[in-house]
Amino acid sequence: MRADLAASYGEERLPRYTSYPTAPHFSSAIGPDTYARWLAELPAGAGASLYLHVPFCREMCWYCGCHTQIVRRDELVAGYQRTLRDEIAQVAETIGRRIKVEHIHFGGGTPTIMQPEAFAELMATMRQKFFVLPSAEIAVEIDPRTLTAEMVDAMRLSGVNRASLGVQSFDPVVQRAINRVQSFEQTASVVDMLRRAGIAGLNFDLIYGLPHQAVASCLDTVRRSLTLSPDRFSVFGYAHVPSFKRHQQMINEAVLPDGLARHDQACAIANALKEAGYVQIGLDHFARPGDSMAVAFEERTLRRNFQGYTTDKSEVLLGFGASAIGHLPQGYVQNEVQIGAYAQSIAAGRLATAKGYGLTDDDRLRADIIERIMCEFSADLGDICARHGAEAGAMLDSASRLKPLISDGVVRLDGNRLAVAKDSRFLVRSVAAAFDAHLNPAKQLHSRAV
């Protein structure tokens, strides 16, 4: 990384742009009645993707930025699963018809903390209330330290065909510093179980910028991971926001890598994966050639949503569970974050929407531009603006943050076509932020740009 770019942009706190506008701009003005109206207004023939949030873990990983809590009693998880089933039924009834579903994603927390029978019942409810296509991708996030053979059987019988394994780092020093001790052997055993069950799509999640992490340990984690041949990697930079996630105060800031070291780690991981034959996709994903995500990247059909980069083309994402976020053509909705408040709403027979955001025409235009920049490192502003009935010149004039990026060589502008320079793609979030009309740099709730 050029030292001048590191000084200018590396310490900025910016969104990952898995939505636009981003969640901090959601408001309580959007509630259950609005969500119900939006659901009822979905056009005939509309399909949807489903996201289910399971906010429980057996122990807290100190780097975690998710909405989750530690549970020891399975009764709490079982009660939550029943609430999820009730919410699915409420949403389906509000829509008024059995719409088709092509993607289902279980996130957390640790979704596989549920009992196998409960997981199977939840899948059966979704198939009853929605038309889950035979070709649907059904993905589950997994903590390899707690997965059981019985749960793998339930996943197989329920049609799960993709699993995302949290790896983060195999360095024992780093693992102890983040309270996540997970051996390579544990991970390899889970990979073997999943493949024997026919769950062939495997993703590994890695993180750089963790305490005590260095390029050497990052490369060792990559080397070990490659021996297990996952289809995809997601490589994220650790977002240290202890004011927002108090358990992150357990991490000693003095042993966190600085912006330059984080960049070196990200580059080393990316280069190692590309040398192993993986295609780099957007900011932080890698896939084998021929994988559906690599194909979507090549065909410029890649999308971005709350799970990151995706092949999901649906304009409707229905979120279930505490804190879950949904996206409809009219805007975004988010459920109550606190599990008790979420459960009370569903038990009372009302949708659990706590806040959201109604999209304006300008928001939709900027969302398209930001998504193309994040997915392709480029955007044809003339074409995008024309589709939204806007002028590219006016959009460029409004993007004052773009000017220094152009003068610093981060961005090239050829007429109305914008492209991020190949040697500056690590700053793609800074480029996307130039079109963010809601960005407030004073609020440090996001991760560093590098």
Inter-CA distances, 46 with 49, 258, 316, 317, Å:
10, 46, 8, 11
Judge if 331 and 404 occupy the same domain. no
pLDDT attached to residue 152: 98
Does residue 423 carry a pLDDT above 90? no
DSSP conformational letter for 425: G
Q: What is the DSSP string of 367-423?
A: HHHHHHHHHHSEEEHHHHHHHTT--HHHHHHH-TTHHHHHHTTSEEEETTEEEE-GG
Is the pLDDT assigned to residue 20 strictly greater than 70?
Answer: yes
Kindly state the greatest CA–CA separation across the chain.
Answer: 61
Does residue 319 register a pLDDT over 70?
A: yes
Nearest residue to 31 via CA among 335, 430, 382, 385: 335
- The answer on 305 and 398 residing in a single domain is no
Reported as a pLDDT band with limits 50, 70 and 90, residue 95 is very high
Write the pLDDT tens digit of every residue in 43-56.
988 999 999 999 99
* 44-69: average pLDDT: 94
| Rounded distance between C-alpha atoms, residue 198 and residue 192, angstroms | 10
Residue 141 has pLDDT above 90, yes or no: yes
Taking CA 365 as the corner, what is the angle to CA 362 and CA 371, rounded to the nearest 5 degrees? 135
Q: How many structural domains compose the chain?
A: 2
CATH of the domain at 393: 1.10.10.920
> Do 249 and 395 belong to one domain?
no
- Average pLDDT of the residues in 297-323: 95
The verdict on 154 and 262 lying in the same domain is: yes
Mark whether 105 and 58 lie in a shared domain. yes
Prior bond of 109 cis (ω within 30°): yes
Higher local confidence (pLDDT), 440 or 219: 219
For the question of whether the overall pTM of this predicted structure is more than 0.85, the answer is: yes
Question: What distance in Å separates the CA atoms of residue 67 and residue 355, rounded to the nearest whole number?
Answer: 16
Query: Residue 380, exposed/middle/buried by CB under 10 A (0-12, 13-18, 19+)?
Result: middle
Measured between alpha carbons, how far is 389 from 391 in angstroms, rounded to an integer? Answer: 7
Q: Is residue 17 part of a domain?
A: no
Tokens of residue 347, six digits: 């038990």
Q: Report the pLDDT value the prediction gives residue 431, as an integer from 0 to 100.
A: 96
Per residue in 370-398, pLDDT (tens digit) is 999 999 999 999 999 999 999 999 999 99
Q: What pLDDT is stored for residue 101 in this prediction?
A: 98
Tell me, yes or no, whether 403 and 428 share the same domain: yes
Span 413-420, average pLDDT: 96
pLDDT (mean) for 275-299: 96
Length of the chain measured in residues: 450
Indicate whether 18 belongs to any domain: no
Confidence of residue 440 (pLDDT cuts 50, 70, 90): confident
Q: Give a yes or no: residue 143 inside a domain.
A: yes
* Whether the predicted pLDDT of 278 surpasses 90: yes
Name the pLDDT band for 11 (thresholds 50, 70, 90): confident
Average pLDDT for residues 411-434, to the nearest whole number?
94
User: Which of 319, 334, 358 is the endpoint of a domain?
Assistant: 358
The per-residue pLDDT for 234 is: 97
Q: Map tokens 């502003």 to a residue.
A: 381
Report CA torsion sign: 304, 14, 259, 428: positive
Query: Per the domain annotation, does 267 fall within a domain?
Result: yes
Percent of the chain with pLDDT over 70: 97
Average pLDDT over residues 264-275: 95
pLDDT category at 450 given cuts 50, 70, 90 is: low
In a domain, 5, yes or no: no
Q: Range of 395's domain?
A: 361-448
User: Which among 358, 384, 409 is the end of a domain?
Assistant: 358
Report the CATH number that the domain containing residue 158 is assigned in CATH.
3.80.30.20
Examine the domain organization and report whether 211 and 146 are in the same domain: yes
- Which one, of 174, 163, 123, lies nearest residue 140 by Cα? 163
Q: How far is CA 413 from the centre of its chain?
A: 29
Together in a domain, 44 and 119: yes
445 has pLDDT over 80? no
Does the structure show a pLDDT above 60 at 98? yes
284 pLDDT higher than 80: yes
Choice between 92 and 446, residue whose per-residue pLDDT is larger = 92
Residues 136 and 222 in one domain: yes
Residues with Cβ within 8 Å of residue 189, at least 6 apart in sequence: 144
Strands (E), 39-161: 48-54, 56-57, 69-70, 100-108, 131-142
Does residue 10 belong to any structural domain of this protein? Answer: no
pLDDT in tens, 218-258: 999 999 999 999 999 999 999 898 988 989 999 999 999 98
Say if residue 66's pLDDT is above 60: yes
**Domain stops at, among 358, 387, 408:** 358
Q: Please check whether residues 338 and 213 belong to one and the same domain.
A: yes
Q: Predicted confidence band at 1 (pLDDT cuts at 50, 70, 90)?
A: low
pLDDT grade for 12, boundaries at 50, 70 and 90? confident
Q: Does residue 102 lie within any of the structural domains?
A: yes
